[in-house]
Structure 1
């Protein structure tokens, strides 16, 4: 194929990874079409943190300033016991200086809107397009959708999440790994003078087998989450989730119960938390994976969206470096990204075991170690993750 002919990437999934990939590929001269199985963009969802590595990647995509404007900078971050005793105050200001950017919290829907606005004018984002299969022939890939339509391109990117159709077509069925805990999440309008909106950030509270997080989203909104050790599949109906959260965190320090109480019942989300075992390859021919489709991870390091954004930039850089030779580019992309994303998957699991401890002696030992850890060590432990340069 003539290298001067503009090539087309077909992207399955219009989440953070899919939209970031579209922006990144457009910057290196590719045409992109994004397909989303949902009938429309919804206003649901919860908060998401964009740590320093994510912000630096968003800068390269040209959308970070909008995130800074619409999100809320994390100015404080504490970890406390369930009854309010301080375990550690994280050195977020020092981290920002060391790693080149503060972290920001933003509503996931607002981040997706920013990314969609960052696409080139006229970019095709098609909703209600459920991918069923694809076929490859002579360096081309043809996607087949549930509505009977077909689209041909030079590259198919599976950015279609934890339950990826593209991943299953590439690798077959790989089992989900249940984390051992389930999550409740919500957004409420709430003020507390002990955690002023101007300061940004918030806290996590850790108790036996459960934890609660509180963070500012801006505009008097609080994003909260709860992680609760429980057997898989024990989530209640939507009408029961707020009551379940209040039951689990009754008696925890203020303002935890008040934040939950301030949340509209139908705005409490619930999810069993899963990842998957890393796989040995993400691509075949001119089909590849990105984000949660490639390396689904537990949320304990706050890196799911960040790693998808990093993937997008690296994939585009590999396509540029290899002059759009798709086969060479996809091999280079996964060789570059796999060691890092596999490490994040592993460390996210380890962090989950640490923060969801149940045994009192283990909890006391963990808290004692964290209290004694100087800022310098806290920062160095995260340098590989947050200080990463693309």
Structure 2
């Protein structure tokens, strides 16, 4: 099946290349524009969970190209007043038998490189150094203007351009990203011996700080410590050496369970503030729609940011295939039907998860020993019995619940 139905995708981060690959497989002609001049080694890692992996596995041969480390164990531990306590110790090595897929940690930069290569191998054109700044909608097309003065026209446009989405600004106006009051400082370090036997996702709870760590390959572990601090720009780039050294000598360098070793041995550290935006009532206008962080940016405490973007992609592509099976140039009315149903499926779920991630972050970083002890007791209770495991399996059943695969 061939078609000249051109689709412009803004953003070659995590969502854009995956969406473009699916659209190419369905007979569209997607072109991805990315604002930066080339792939940058920014950010730390991503936690690929069964619901997101279920979507990625629909791309032929993709799972064989995925570079990461399967998590076999989850530990929640406490370090208060120099006393340690193992709150939860769960074997998740058999998760794929129940949920279809495991949990896999990946380096963000490595994953980004992989998905761009996959998209290009399917014939997707990716153009760097082009930042979308304006949209002009016509009866049957959209003209896109870029910061460098270049222009291009497509049948419709999907904004996958992240937290600072210019596509979102063009559709709904400028708004400020809201600082959540939390920062993260993290890095990638050689995996400590104590965490090597069983690749482990580690959560360390202390007074005023929380660490999450998980392996991203068979040699390295990514980690991040969340604290309440003054606003720090979400640059996702390495902090200066002097500040890195001070951080490595801080109290977290003495944490047990391999956590302190991770802090002290990091190759580099990055620091960033955690932000979100108000929920939108609609993700589209005319022939333009938003997807992923452009539509529903979230803090990272549930590890669902990328996975929810993949759920978005699944449903958007499924609906395009359902209502426009021959991939012909769609009318604005048809796109309105598709985009509206896409929103109806996705806004409630993503809004719930954004709020859940915010609550998770607030609940993890508590001040005062008594408050921390109450938190620890709640964590133990959460994992007790079968309710939690059953709930996670229901959660991981998305995005296919009640729908056929694309």
Q: Which moved more, 1:176-185 or 1:90-99?
A: 90-99
CA distance in 1, matches of 2:189, 2:3: 50
Report the Cα distance in structure 2 between the residues aligned to 1:242 and 1:204, rounded to whole angstroms.
23
Unaligned runs of 5+ in 1: none
Q: Note the C-alpha offset of 1:174.
A: 2.6
8 A contact 1:184–1:245 mirrored in 2: no
Q: Residue 79 of structure 1 aligns with which residue? A: 76
User: Partner residue of 2:101?
Assistant: 101
**Structure 1 match to 2:117:** 117
Describe the superposition over 1:85-136 as per-residue Cα deviations: whole angstroms up to 9, x where unpaired.
1011234245443322111001112212221222254321001111111100
User: Given the two structures, how large is their TM-score scaled by the length of structure 1?
Assistant: 0.92
Partner of 2:33: 35
Inter-partner Cα distance in structure 2 for 1:62 and 1:177: 39
How far apart are the structure 2 equivalents of 1:59 and 1:189?
29
Match of 1:317 in 2: 318
Counterparts of 2:199 and 2:77 in 1: how far apart (Å)? 17
> Does the aligned pair in 2 maintain the 1:90–1:375 contact within 8 Å?
no
Contact 2:21 2:124 in 1 (8 A): no
Residue 254 of structure 1: how far off its partner (Å): 4.6
Q: TM-score with structure 2 length normalisation?
A: 0.88
Equivalent residue for 1:358, pick from 348, 361, 367: 367
Q: Deviations over 1:235-286 (max 9, x none)?
A: 995221342253141432152222222123xx21111001112110110001
Q: Count residues with an aligned counterpart.
A: 383
For the Cα contact (< 8 Å) 2:244–2:269, is it kept in 1? yes
The alpha-carbon deviation at position 67 of structure 1 amounts to 5.4
Match of 2:387 among 372, 377, 381: 377
How do 1:1-390 residues align onto structure 2 when only pairs under 5 Å count? 5-62=3-60, 64-66=62-64, 70-82=67-79, 83-93=83-93, 95-119=95-119, 120-192=121-193, 194-196=194-196, 199-233=198-232, 237-239=239-241, 240-264=243-267, 267-323=268-324, 324=330, 325-372=334-381, 373-390=383-400
Aligned 8 A contact 1:63 1:115 in 2: no
Instruction: Flag the 1:93–1:250 CA change in 2: closer, same or farther, 3 A.
Output: closer
User: What 5-or-longer segments of structure 2 have no aligned partner?
Assistant: 325-329, 401-406
1:63 shift after superposition:
5.1
CA contact (8 A) 1:91 1:379 kept: no
Preserved CA contact (<8 Å) 1:63 1:114 = no
Preserved contact between residue 202 and residue 214 of structure 2 (Cα < 8 Å): yes
CA shift for structure 1 position 309: 1.1
Tell me by how many angstroms 1:299 deviates. Answer: 0.4
Answer whether contact 1:186 1:224 (CA < 8 A) is retained: yes
Q: 1:378 to 1:63 in 2, by over 3 A?
A: farther
Deviations 1:191-243 (CA, angstroms, capped at 9, x unpaired):
31x211x5222311011221112222224112111111112139995221342
SS of the equivalent of 2:216 reads strand
1:168 CA drift (Å): 1.0
Q: 1:110–1:378: structure 2 CA closer, same or farther, 3 Å change rule?
A: same
**After the TM superposition, which of the residue ranges 368-377 and 340-349 deviates more from structure 2?**
368-377
Q: Distance in 2 between matches of 1:268 and 1:147?
A: 33
**Once the 2 structures are TM-superposed, how far is the Cα of residue 380 of structure 1 from its aligned partner?**
2.6
Q: Quick one: structure 1 residues 16 and 375, their matched pair in 2 at CA, closer, same or farther if it must change by over 3 Å? A: farther
Inter-partner Cα distance in structure 2 for 1:78 and 1:385? 20
Of residues 201-210 and 87-96 in structure 1, the stretch that sits farther from structure 2 once superposed is 87-96
Decide which moves more: 46-55 or 183-192: 183-192
Q: In structure 2, the residue corresponding to 1:281 is in which secondary structure?
A: coil
Distance (whole Å) between structure 2 residues aligned to residue 171 and residue 104 of structure 1: 35
Q: Call closer, same or farther: CA 1:18–1:63 in 2, change over 3 Å.
A: farther
How far 1:4 sits from its partner (Å)?
A: 7.9
Deviation at 1:71, TM superposition (A): 1.0
Cα distance, 1:34 vs structure 2: 0.4
> Does the CA-based 8 Å contact 1:47-1:105 persist in structure 2?
yes
CA separation of 1:361/1:95 partners in 2, compared to 1, >3 Å: closer, same or farther?
farther
Aligned-partner Cα distance in 1 for 2:385–2:95: 9
